[in-house]
Copies of this chain bind each other. A is one copy, B any other.
């Protein structure tokens, strides 16, 4: 007698849900959206084209039948890849069912879900033991969460196709225990501020929305209050599980890593990965609980975040490879397809996003994706123009930041990325005040990125033996691997994560502009105790030049003397230098610690003082670094790859300016992309620098001043007030036989 009664109760509950307008689908598709899509089938080419590609893909997978193997392998292995394929296909099959109204798709989703439900409750933990939070389907909860984020969308799409009894079975045997396993079963995974946890929160929340399970939704949004995690517990990447005083859940995961203007502290590479669950769950929330106004939360941070993602790319759409990024990740990734579509649909319908969608050649098969395809068809797309932009870092936007200066005047994509962010969690690098320069989609001055080959087993990039290579910790994360100052061959903050996480540089001032000179100036006081580092980077156009100069003034203020090493990690072929620096006959490592042991010392030259120049050829461009060196400064040419027994590092070249026994000093260097060469016409154009010299005129606690001389025409004077960034302060400096008077922290006399 009890069973029917129970069933009856569930029926009643379901009716109530329908009564409250909780119709399905409701996560990423809505009844209204589906109606709109169906009405336009065959009329929106971009959508139709991609729909037919997806249909072909799903049909092919369905032809293989239901394949739900017993979990055994790690990523790259058979069971891992099959389960991964399953969740991608299920999500797409669900969407096809809604859009095409063809029962075979719902039938297939149902069959696969039933197969999972049949085994789920009896599944032990995955046999691979390496993770601090082992999954059941996959080796880690992170991947199980991926599964649920996707599959909850599939379930949503076929919800009404299933009988009440089938739904009850799936929810009891699969979805609720799955959600509980990811949360109450794995508090260290779930109750954390981390991109992994975001996936967990979204998984639990999304299935909660589909099941209308308010308990799961609350758990997803606000975490589990009752859980205690020891202060020093770490995950297998070495990150702390729990920072002091953190809140938990989805909102906490939005609050902590995102600055209000949308910069994600770990770097765009990781943001790209985290963005998908953030946005998908948010989309579901927006559809089911519009009263939460999730897209307006924290000043609209989620949509700001998409804006920051697309703006932290070079002209080819590749993310700037800061922190532990693997190079080559771009806005062509599937996560960015969803992000762009969602940001368009739920945001302010920015027509520039449409042109990115066109390049992506995909849209999501949902309301957002359709709106993008439709808008493109209606001719609304506008070119995406990268404008100079800056983002604060830190949950409150007060922990440094990142500034990207774009030269908008031509189409070669010259840009400068100045990084004065906070540590960036466990994925951060010890690279305060570093910068990189990009041109024609290539790195002129590079950030090494991570020493990691994601998912490649031979390089331990699969999950067999670790995610990052040893050289990530002994080189790629360290200061010498970046274009910033190394003092006494030490790492910023002593290489101590906790120290780095307590501090951050501070912006001193910046000037962003669409056509004039642009500046970003920042200071860092804690990376090396007793040494204040102050870097000002200027992108300065001049009618005499093919491209703006990049002026780099790096000043230290220190009572003690130190050895200062300022590296420039360039790419390309050595062309010429006025410094005599013949290559060594035997190569030895440059140093013994702090990453120096990974640099082969190729050559060393000694400056006679005054202007030194080094010209190289890269990607058919002639580039010169013009340096205001002091007598005795060493110019060291290195190549990465020493103490690298497994050939894990790339063998990229670098130039290091070494200044010894100095306290306060100013490095004044100018990067100049001055010419081109074509291997087809074989014509070098402007193969030599247009600069005659760079001279330090003033180097005091109060002022830095340099003069840049051209081979023709007037020199340029650049003056920086080092101690007062107030826009209205008036300054007077007598130098170079003249009296300069100006207002605000800088003067460019051009």
Contact = CB atoms under 8 A, between A and B. Distances in A.
Interface in A329-348: 329-330, 332-334
A119 interface: no
A687 B457 CA distance: 8
B585 A456 contact: no
A76 interface: yes
B583 A586 contact: no
Contacts of A457: 684, 687-688
Contact of A647 (B330, B583, B588, B684): B583
Contact of A679 (B329, B647, B651): B329
Interface in A546-588: 573-576, 582-583, 585-588
A573 B328 contact: no
A442 to B, nearest CB: 15
A328 B617 CA distance: 14
A574 B650 CA distance: 9
Contact of A587 (B76, B587, B637, B683): B587
Contacts of A600: 587
A458 B682 contact: no
Contacts of A458: 575-576, 615, 687-688
Contacts of A326: 679, 682
Interface stretch (A295-303, A475-483, A638-646): A638-646
Nearest to A597: B585
A295 B688 CA distance: 45
A456 B615 CA distance: 12
B573 A76 contact: no
A454 interface: yes
Per assembly, the copies of the chain total 2
A396 interface: no
A681 interface: yes
A645 B583 contact: yes
Contacts of A496: none
Interface residues of A, number: 53
Interface in A671-725: 677-684, 687-688
A333 to B, nearest CB: 5
Given A645-B583, A651-B651, A456 B677 contact: yes
A455 interface: yes
A349 interface: no
A55 interface: no
B587 A680 contact: no
Nearest to A317: B680
Contact of A680 (B330, B586, B677): B330
A683 B647 contact: no
B587 A456 contact: no
Contacts of A333: 680-681
B575 A459 contact: yes
A387 interface: no
A427 interface: no
A327 interface: yes
A317 to B, nearest CB: 9
B455 A573 contact: no
A143 to B, nearest CB: 13
A647 B574 contact: yes
Contacts of A583: 641, 643-645, 647
A680 B639 contact: no
B651 A639 contact: yes
Indicate the member of A334, A603, A647, A650 with the most B CB atoms within 10 Å. A647
Contact of A650 (B330, B573, B576): B573
Interface in A281-334: 326-330, 332-334
B585 A586 contact: no
A76 B687 CA distance: 9
B679 A573 contact: no
A616 to B, nearest CB: 9
A680 B332 contact: yes
A682 B455 contact: yes
Interface string A635-669: 00101011111110011010000000000000000
A415 to B, nearest CB: 20
Interface string A592-608: 00000000100100000
A457 B647 CA distance: 35
A241 B330 CA distance: 56
Contact of A643 (B573, B585, B588): B585
B455 A582 contact: no
Nearest to A456: B684
B456 A679 contact: no
A645 B576 contact: no
A327 B587 CA distance: 28
Interface of A: 76, 326-330, 332-334, 453-459, 573-576, 582-583, 585-589, 600, 603, 615, 617, 637, 639, 641-647, 650-651, 653, 677-684, 687-688
Shortest 5 CB-CB distances between A and B: which pairs?
Answer: A328-B679, A574-B647, A587-B587, A458-B576, A582-B645
26 contacts: A76-B684, A76-B687, A326-B682, A328-B678, A328-B679, A330-B680, A332-B680, A455-B683, A455-B684, A456-B677, A456-B684, A457-B688, A458-B576, A458-B615, A458-B687, A573-B650, A582-B645, A582-B646, A583-B643, A583-B645, A583-B647, A585-B643, A586-B587, A587-B588, A587-B600, A603-B647
